[in-house]
Amino acid sequence: MITAHSLTKRYGATTAVDNLTFEVPPGVVTGFLGPNGSGKSTTMRMIMGLDVPDSGTALIGGKRYCELAWPLREVGGLLDAKAFHPARSARNHLRWLALTNDIPLRRVDEVLDHVGLSSVAGRPVGKFSLGMSQRLGIAATLLGDPGVLLFDEPVNGLDPEGIRWVRHFLRGLAAEGRTVFVSSHLISEMSVTADRLVVIGRGRLIADTSVADFVNRSGGGAVKLITPDLAAFTSALTVEGANVGAGDGGSLTVEGLTAPQIGDLAARDGLRIHELMPISASLEDAFMELTQDEVEYRPSTMAGAAAAGRKE
Amino acid sequence: MTLAIQTAPREHYRLKHVVKSEVVKIVTLRSTAITLGLTVAVGLLVTGLVTNAALHHGPGYYSGFDPTQAALTGLIVAGLTGGVFGALLVTGEYSSGTIRTTLAATPKRRVLLAAKIGVTAATTVVFCELLSFVSFFLGEGILSGSGAPSANLGSPGALRAVLMTGLFIALMALMSFGFGLICRSTPAAIAAFVGVVFVLPLVMHGISEPDVRYLPTNILTNSIMSTVNQGPGGIVRPLSPALGLLLMAMYAAIAVAAGAVLFVKRDA
């Protein structure tokens, strides 16, 4: 469990993270979504104790990061895919890391094997591709078999196969009951990887909710209808209380009725349907809508706390 | 997932764990072998050339000639590379980003810093002492072959000079380590080190001649390596060896302390 409470970080006049309150529960993948420069990395660095917040707290299992007895056995963090010395081999990088937390050295080969780097373990990591570096970073997070894991943009620069691998890996960690917190600016990726979302814009909390809720909150529920009986259908739908708009190519956009309800209506009135399709707003649409109008969705501290509380 | 769950030991990570990891860090970098190897090669070459050049002169040449100092000349090279080595131990972590991994593994910054300082000091002291003795024996071996004055460890002040020279250069490396903590960038830290150790003496000569003797390189050559007390014959009476060593220890302590304060306070 990660708990951020009123987390704030300023750099001179800019407020990178502004009064951020959220929780990351165990057992699910929580996506940390926001445009580039919205404060995701700064937040993660504060959770990891690398940056000191100006106010507020970030706790892991109720403790500040620097109070952890064996940090690598409690938290695995991948904040920077290239955070190792280029001249050192992958195995040696993991060896010194293991020693810091008294982790048995056989564990080094276990995690290298797990991420598929055994065959290149002796090579200098400076020669690694970005994908291999990401895998090494992931191997490092697993060294201490921690219950809490943080990944900052873990699929950046990966090929489709690598992205799939990371996705399965993250979901596997959550399925084992671990707390998994993954930042991304790739909305489509989060929609398939995450169960929950913490969305921020300009350092402020925009939403703290499930992926499904997030999509529903924004523009969901419209249905696209194509019919040769335009006029009759329109009046029938209006009578039923639906909001009907004319779409392109003789189609109708219906709001206020579900696709099954429209189908039943058509059967009752003998109207023809050529196409009937629910328009589910993509996570991307929802995100754009929410971040475009930041002022409207800017939560007060109370709203942020309430959103966090509602999910429990 | 087939990752075995381990049971964490009691207590928490300690200095000994961080020390072990810092040793592995040093040992597993090729730059360590290159820097130290280069120091040995060039240092001994300089000692060899200097002592060889002192051979085959008339007796008049050798008045004021200090065979111990001549045989330790190569250690000045170690002063330069030792400084680079000390700075790199910190700045290498910043330039590669390793420091964030290190701090994530051992977030107690004072413990981490204590381990780093201890390992840096131990490595440089052992290395510089060894090099100091090897350089001395090489130089005296060359000198003693051909009628030039030579010394052995029993000669007055010789053992003191050899031991203190190794220690002094280790202190210079620690000072540079402190510059590394302050600057966090390899070029900046090395520039600061070279500036203080090799450029400042040149500038100071033109400003205040007597104060030159407080500078590291001048202390090293005039007070530490030397066994001949340069009296009024020299331009400035040098500091005593003990005072010189103390001063250098103070310089190193100031640089490391300033770096340590910043290291503990600053965001990584």
pLDDT score for B7: 56
Write out pLDDT tens, residues B113-141.
999 999 999 999 999 999 999 999 999 99
- Which residues make beta-bridge pairs with A244? A254
pLDDT of residue A283: 64
pTM: 0.82
Q: Which of B122, B145, B130, B117 is nearest to B257 (CA)?
A: B117
Nearest by CB to A50, from B2, B92, B268: name it.
B268
Higher pLDDT, B241 or A187: B241
Say what the pLDDT of residue A218 is.
57
Residue A121 confidence (pLDDT): 96
Chain A interface includes B7 (CB < 8 A): no
- Asked if B29's CB is within 8 angstroms of A85's CB, the reply is yes
Average pLDDT value for residue range A289-301: 52
Pairwise CB contact (< 8 Å): B103 & A49: yes
As for the ipTM of the complex, it is: 0.86
Under 8 Å CB pairs connecting chains A and B tally to 119
Find the range with the poorest average confidence among A170-179, A231-240, B163-172, B223-232. Answer: B223-232
CA A186/CA A157 separation, integer angstroms: 12
Phi, psi of B115 (to 5 degrees): -65, -45
Q: Are A148 and A73 within 8 A, CB to CB?
A: no
Is residue A204 within 8 Å of residue A298, measured between CB atoms?
A: yes
Per-residue confidence (pLDDT) for residue A291, from 0 to 100 = 67
Query: Which helix (H) or strand (E) covers residue A199, if one does?
Result: strand A196-201
pLDDT digit string, tens, across residues B58-116:
778 887 889 999 999 999 988 898 899 999 999 999 999 999 999 999 999 999 999 99
The total of other beta-carbon atoms located within 10 Å of residue A69's CB is 14
The two counts, helices (H) then strands (E), for chain A are 13, 13
Question: Which residues of chain B are within 8 Å of residue A51 when distances are taken between CB atoms?
Answer: 267-268
Q: Which residue has the tokens 């510089």?
A: B128
**At B79, which amino acid appears?**
G
Q: How confident is the model at residue A256 (pLDDT cuts 50, 70, 90)?
A: confident
Confidence category of residue A4, pLDDT binned at 50, 70, 90: very high
Find the mean pLDDT for residues B251-264: 96
CA atoms within 13 A on the CB side of B174: 30
Gap between the Cα atoms of B29 and B43, Å rounded: 22
Position A247 scores a pLDDT of: 75
Question: Which residue on chain A is closest to B266 by alpha carbon?
Answer: A51
- Average pLDDT value for residue range A13-22: 93
A160: pLDDT strictly greater than 60:
yes
pLDDT mean across residues, chain A: 86
Supply the pLDDT for residue A219. Answer: 53
The β-bridge partners of A198 are A32, A208
**Contact residues, chain A, for B106 at CB < 8 Å:** 71, 100-101
- Cβ–Cβ contact A97 with B under 8 A: yes
CA distance A147 to A73: 8
- Residue range B41-64, pLDDT digits in tens: 999 999 999 999 988 887 788 878
Across the range B178-204, mean pLDDT stands at: 93
> How far, in Å, are B44, B51, B81, B138 from residue B48 at the CA level?
6, 5, 18, 7
Residue A236 has which token pair? 């029938």
Two tokens, residue A147:
């219950």
Task: Read off the pLDDT band of B233 (50, 70, 90).
Answer: low
Q: Which residue has the higher pLDDT, A135 or B11?
A: A135
Pairing label, strands A55-60, A148-152: unpaired
Q: How far apart are CA B142 and CA A228, in angstroms?
A: 108
R_g of chain A computed on alpha carbons: 24
CB-based contact (8 Å) between B103 and chain A?
A: yes
- Are A70 and B106 in contact (CB < 8 Å)? no
- What the block records as the tokens of B145 is 């072959």
pLDDT value, residue B230: 59
Beta carbons of A110 and A144 less than 8 angstroms apart: no
**Which one of A99, A107, A150, A171 would you mutate to disrupt binding with B, by most B Cβ within 10 Å of its Cβ?**
A99
In this complex, is the C-beta atom of A72 within 8 Å of any C-beta atom belonging to chain B?
yes
CB–CB of B148/B62 below 8 Å?
A: yes
Domain segments of chain B as ranges: 14-265
pLDDT at position A301 is 44
Smallest Cα–Cα separation from A117: which of A97, A140, A100, A101?
A140
Residue range A113-135, pLDDT digits in tens: 999 999 999 999 999 998 899 99
Centroid of chain to Cα A150: 11
- A309 or A89, higher pLDDT: A89
A92 touches chain B (CB under 8 A): yes
A256 or A193, which is more confident: A193
Q: Which residues pair with A210 in a beta bridge?
A: A196
Q: Give Dmax (Cα) for chain A.
A: 76
How many angstroms separate the CA of residue A304 from the nearest CA in chain B? 27
Q: How far apart are CA B122 and CA B138, in angstroms?
A: 24
CA distance B229 to B210: 16
Q: Which residues of B touch A48 (CB under 8 A)?
A: 100, 103-104
Burial class (CB in 10 A: 0-12, 13-18, 19+), A63: exposed
Check: CB of residue A181 under 8 Å from CB of residue A30: yes
Report the relative pairing of strands A148-152 and A75-78 from DSSP bridges.
Answer: parallel
- How much is the average pLDDT of B218-223? 89
- What pLDDT score was predicted for residue B239? 87
Chain A contacts in chain B segment 21-60 (CB below 8 A): 21-22, 24-25, 28-31
Could you write out the three-class secondary structure of B91-103?
Answer: HHHHHHCHHHHHH
DSSP state of A111: H
pLDDT computed for residue A297 by the predictor: 43
| Size of chain B in residues | 268
CA atoms within 13 A on the CB side of A11: 9
Bin B160: left if φ > 0, else alpha if -120 < ψ < 50, else beta. Answer: alpha
Q: pLDDT category, A212, cuts 50, 70, 90?
A: confident
A8 backbone dihedrals φ, ψ, rounded to 5° = -140, 135
DSSP state of B223: I
